[in-house]
Amino acid sequence: MKNKKLHKIIGILGIIFSVLLGVVGTLLAFSAKWMFKTWTNLSMDELVFHLTAPLEGTNTDMIKDYCNECVVPVVLILSCMIFLICANRKNKKRLKKIALAFCTGAIVITGVTVGVTWNGLDMGSYLKGQDTYSTFIDKNYVDPSSVNITFPEQKKNLIYIFLESMEMTYADKKNGGAFDENVIPELTQLAQENEDFSGKSNKLNGGYSMPGTTWTMGAMFGQTSGLPLSVSIGANGMDTQDSFFPEITTLGDIFQKEGYSQTLLIGSEATFGGRKLYFTDHGQYDIMDYDYAHDNGLIPEDYKVWWGYEDEKLFGFAKERLLELSQQDTPFNLTMLTVDTHFEDGYVCDLCPDTFGDNQYANVMACSSRQVKEFVDWIQQQDFAADTTIVISGDHPTMDSDFCEDVDKDYERRVYTTYINSSAEKQTDEKRNYTTFDNFPTTLAAMGVDIEGNRLGLGTNLYSTEQTLTEKVGIEQEEKELGKKSKLLNKMAQIDKKKYEKELVAQTDPVGKAKTGKYNAETEEIPITVKNIQYADKGIQSVMAAVWKYDDQSDLQWVPLAMFDGDVWKGDIDISAYEDPKGAYNIHVYLVDGKGDLYNIAQTAKKISK
């Protein structure tokens, strides 16, 4: 009798294990497929960053896309598995065969997925690099605090524009790009009329994006410090530290010492990726991000598109800020970051044409090209233009899934680069081979700054005859060495892992559970209940539900919920305004805590079919 019970228990556990293995294997397969579709040319260090980066400030469209393409299919497959098991629960032999099939299939799927992912991300080289130390950074890093950096008597202003995902690749082939038709003609013109270090050639030239610089925060760090953002806790973990690479001297530090007024202007949330911490810690920048625009009435209270607000507004705010800065007695540094061209497919604003038909990303890139040119033209008409250097650089190559899929594999993709109104004279007409690290000293040189030795960080002043590290060792060797650990970089980062782990536990946002009741056809209302609210340590001011039926959220309504029994919040969603109540309703629940901070604590949906 005991043996029968034991066999039964083992059989049940075996079925449960098979189902779980099947679900996990299938989820891994769908996730890997989604990952490679979403991020082209994905590198392992980039993946680690995104997997460990906080969701705060993330575009919710990406999260929805993952759920639709990965979670939903897995739920459907799980439902089929449960149905098969229930339908055959009395036939033990068939049940064992089904369980064995699930288990075998899961193992095969998982094995194939791991193999494809391992090869696709070159995980072998990455893991080897994580266990291998290189002296490349240690030997080649030039500490800016150890060399003489001399500014001219009349200091120039700087406008530094980071263009999201902007590559020289998007130009046509005759101009150095990889496309048949030029998607960025205005940017191409700007580079050709100014300086991109292409030598005597009219073809565009740009900087290589090295390991540790292939996402936005890494790119901004690399171009302003001459270092890769490669740290032991993942780049997002810098938010848990008291400082961001406290031992290094960056572009912002140099300008702060020289009395510059500094502003970081971005249309997304600066906290995302540690940008706020970095630019506050190095240069005490005034942070004008999405939250600033919201809190200071620059945009409506409920306004948010894409990652925050669109570039059309960004350039408008930049013009206003520049007019303010130009009235000050001190020189200024305005650093900007665009966002409309972020993957996947970019954001279509009111200015975007349909020049490239249904190729949305091309239309968005073309729109960005025109907006940047218009902005530069505006700057050049202002009184402060003669005293201002403009640097325009792509942050990193695009991660869009298919925009560059037809680009020849032998084509070397580099970020767009140009220097406008430079005070420096080139010492050579040779085409330069460089990385985005070289932007650090070259930016200063373009402003008329004299740099002892012409090198800062891992970068080289491209106006000089000094060889870049890329020219010395070759791009492949440089990339290989930067994929390894560096004792010097670890020392400069000063990571407090205990604090990081402690902060991870402490950084728990409020969460809750939402459930809808039966639709009341007479009152045309959907009852909603929210309970089990946790981690609301700062108290609760209010709980409300955001409800919409249409994808464009034109029908968005806010429903305040009332508190019952201390831990239960209830309300009724009125859908009488809809001509046809049938359909699916999206419901997101928000909590406002005692400090006034807003949190999305739960999501649910309600489908009305009658």
**Residue 129 pLDDT more than 50?**
no
Please check whether residues 317 and 410 belong to one and the same domain: yes
Structural domain includes residue 141? no
Please check whether residues 114 and 171 belong to one and the same domain: no
Averaged pLDDT for residues 383-389: 97
Range of the domain at 24: 2-130
Please check whether residues 196 and 157 belong to one and the same domain: yes
pLDDT band at 59 (very low <50, low <70, confident <90, very high): very low
Boundary (domain end) residue, out of 474, 502, 530: 502
**343 against 501, higher pLDDT:** 343
Please check whether residues 479 and 521 belong to one and the same domain: no
pLDDT at 606: 81
**283 against 593, higher pLDDT:** 283
Structural domain includes residue 523? yes
Please check whether residues 465 and 532 belong to one and the same domain: no
Please check whether residues 587 and 565 belong to one and the same domain: yes
Q: Percent of the chain scored above 70 by pLDDT?
A: 73
**Residue 280 pLDDT more than 60?**
yes
Averaged pLDDT for residues 393-405: 89
pLDDT at 16: 63
Backbone angles phi, psi at 231, to 5 degrees: -130, 160
**202 against 122, higher pLDDT:** 202
DSSP secondary-structure letter at 172? B
**Residue 126 pLDDT more than 60?**
no
Please check whether residues 556 and 474 belong to one and the same domain: no
pLDDT at 586: 86
Please check whether residues 479 and 564 belong to one and the same domain: no
Structural domain includes residue 143? no
Rounded CA-CA distance 247/253 in Å is 11
Averaged pLDDT for residues 517-538: 86
pLDDT at 42: 53
Boundary (domain end) residue, out of 502, 519, 536: 502
Averaged pLDDT for residues 456-480: 97
Structural domain includes residue 139? no
pLDDT band at 299 (very low <50, low <70, confident <90, very high): very high
pLDDT at 52: 46
Structural domain includes residue 144? no
Rounded CA-CA distance 489/485 in Å is 8
Cα 462–chain centre separation? 28
Domain count within the chain: 3
Structural domain includes residue 355? yes
pLDDT at 26: 63
**pLDDT tens figures, 186-199:** 999 999 999 999 99
**Residue 376 pLDDT more than 90?**
yes
Averaged pLDDT for residues 298-304: 89
pLDDT at 607: 79
Please check whether residues 496 and 513 belong to one and the same domain: no
Q: Using CA atoms of 306, 312, 313, 319 in order, give the dihedral in degrees to the nearest 10.
A: 150
Single pTM value for the model: 0.68
Please check whether residues 497 and 515 belong to one and the same domain: no
Rounded CA-CA distance 120/37 in Å is 12
Which CATH number covers residue 561? 2.60.40.3760
Please check whether residues 199 and 125 belong to one and the same domain: no
Which CATH number covers residue 497? 3.40.720.10
Structural domain includes residue 313? yes
* Residue 521 identity: A
**Residue 185 pLDDT more than 90?**
yes
Q: Which two tokens stand for residue 316?
A: 């408008």
Structural domain includes residue 115? yes
Q: Which of 26-30, 138-142, 166-170, 484-488 has the lowest mean pLDDT?
A: 26-30
- Across the chain, mean pLDDT equals 83
Boundary (domain end) residue, out of 452, 468, 502: 502
Rounded CA-CA distance 576/549 in Å is 13
Please check whether residues 80 and 163 belong to one and the same domain: no
Averaged pLDDT for residues 302-330: 94
pLDDT at 307: 86
